[in-house]
Structure 1
Amino acid sequence: MLDFDISPVGTSRLGEVDFENLAFGKVFSDHMFVMDYADGAWQRGEISAFGPMTFSPAMMSLHYGQAIFEGMKAFRQQDGSVSLFRPGRNIQRLNFSARRLSMPEVPEDIMFQAIVELVKLDSNWVPSAPDSALYIRPFMFATEGHVGVRPSNNYRLCVFTCPVGAYYTKPVRVKVETKFTRAAAGGTGAAKAAGNYAGSLHPTELAKSKGYDQILWTDGATHTKVEECGTMNVGFVMDGKLVVPSTSDTVLSGVTRASAVELMRHEGVDVEERVVEVRELQEAIQEGRLTEAFGLGTAATISPICTLGLEDGDWDLPGQDTWTIAPLLKRRLDEVRTGAGEDPFAWNIPV
Structure 2
Amino acid sequence: MTEHTSHEIDVEKLETSKINAVNFDNLTFGRTFTDHMFICDFENDEWQTPRIIPYQAMTMEPSARVFHYGQAVFEGMKAYKDKDGKVWLFRPEDNYNRINKSAARLAMPEFPKDYFFKGLTKLLQIDSAWVKPGKGNSLYIRPFIIATDPAISASPSSNYRFMIICSPAKAYYTDKIKVLVAEKYSRSASGGVGFAKAAGNYAAQFYPTSLAQKRGFQQVIWTDAATHERLEEAGTMNVFFRINDTLITAPISDRILDGVTRRSIIQLAEDNGITVDVRPITVVELKEASRNGSLKEIFGAGTAAVISPISAFEHGEELFELPNIENSYADSLKDNMLNIQHNLTEDKHGWRYGI
Normalising by structure 1, report the TM-score. Answer: 0.98
SS at match of 1:227: strand
| Residue of 134, 137, 142 corresponding to 2:147 | 142
Instruction: Specify the alignment match of 1:315 in structure 2.
Output: 320
How far apart are residue 217 of structure 1 and its match?
A: 0.3
Which of residues 187, 195, 201 is equivalent to 2:192? Answer: 187
Name the amino acid aligned to 1:176: V
The residue that corresponds to 1:19 in the other structure is 24
Deviation at 1:109, TM superposition (A): 1.9
Q: How far does residue 166 in structure 1 lie from its aligned partner after superposition?
A: 1.1
Listed as ranges, the gaps of 5+ residues in structure 2 are: 1-5
Answer yes or no: is 1:171 the counterpart of 2:176.
Answer: yes
Give the aligned partner of residue 3 of structure 2.
Answer: none
CA–CA distance in structure 1, aligned partners of residues 142 and 179 of structure 2? 26
Which string of whole-angstrom CA distances, capped at 9 and with x for unpartnered residues, describes residues 177-229 of structure 1?
Answer: 01001101000000000001111111000000000000100000000001101
Deviation, structure 1 residue 291: 0.3
C-alpha displacement at 1:3, in angstroms? 2.9
Matched, 1:347 2:316: no
Out of 59, 79, 103, the position equivalent to 2:64 is 59
- 1:291 partner amino acid: K
1:71 maps to 2:76: yes
Whole-Å Cα distance in 2 between the matches of residues 28 and 290 of structure 1? Answer: 40
CA contact (8 A) 2:82 2:134 kept: no
Following superposition, the deviation at residue 128 of structure 1 comes to: 2.1
Q: How many residues align?
A: 350
Corresponding residue for residue 340 of structure 2: 336
Shift of 1:311: 1.0
**What is aligned with 1:261?**
266
1:45-69 C-alpha deviation (Å, 9 max, x unpaired): 1001001000001000100000011
Between the aligned partners of 2:232 and 2:250, the Cα distance in structure 1 is 6
Instruction: Report the equivalent of 1:325.
Output: 329
Alignment map for 1:141-290 (pairs within 5 Å): 141-290=146-295
Q: After the TM superposition, which parts of structure 1 deviate over 2 Å for at least 4 consecutive aligned residues? A: 321-324
**Alpha-carbon separation, structure 2, partners of 1:26 and 1:128:** 20
Secondary structure of 1:322's partner?
A: coil
Separation in structure 2 between the aligned mates of residue 91 and residue 183 of structure 1, nearest angstrom: 23
Amino acid at match of 1:171: K
Cα distance between partner residues in 1 of 2:293 and 2:85: 44
- 1:20 Cα deviation (Å)? 1.2
Asked if structure 1 preserves the Cα contact closer than 8 Å seen for 2:34 and 2:167, the reply is yes
1:32 aligns with 37
| Superposition deviation, residue 244 in structure 1 | 1.2
Q: CA deviation at 1:44?
A: 0.4
Contact 2:38–2:119, Cα closer than 8 Å, also in 1: yes
Matched residues, percent identical? 43
Counterpart Cα distance in 2 of 1:207 and 1:183: 18
**Partner secondary structure for residue 149 of structure 2:** coil
Please give the alpha-carbon distance, in whole angstroms, between the structure 2 residues aligned to 1:290 and 1:50. 47
CA displacement, residues 8-38 of structure 1 (integer Å, 9 cap, x when unaligned): 1110001001111121111100000000000
Residues 1:94 and 2:99 aligned together: yes
Aligned partners of 1:139 and 1:36: how far apart in 2? 12
Counterparts of 1:17 and 1:130 in 2: how far apart (Å)? 19
8 Å CA contact retained: 1:291, 1:323: no
* Aligned-CA RMSD value: 0.9
Q: Which amino acid aligns with 1:60?
A: R
Q: Is the 8 A contact 1:292 1:323 kept in 2?
A: no
Matched residue of 2:239: which SS?
Answer: strand
| Distance (whole Å) between structure 2 residues aligned to residue 113 and residue 340 of structure 1 | 26
How far off is 1:323 after superposition?
4.3
Counterpart residue type for residue 349 of structure 1: Y
After superposition, give the CA deviation of every residue in 1:74-97 in whole Å (9 maximum; x if it has no partner): 011132211011111001000000
- What's the TM-score once normalised by structure 2's chain length? 0.97
Q: Distance in 2 between matches of 1:249 and 1:60?
A: 25
Deviations 1:219-244 (A, max 9, x none): 00000001101211111111201111
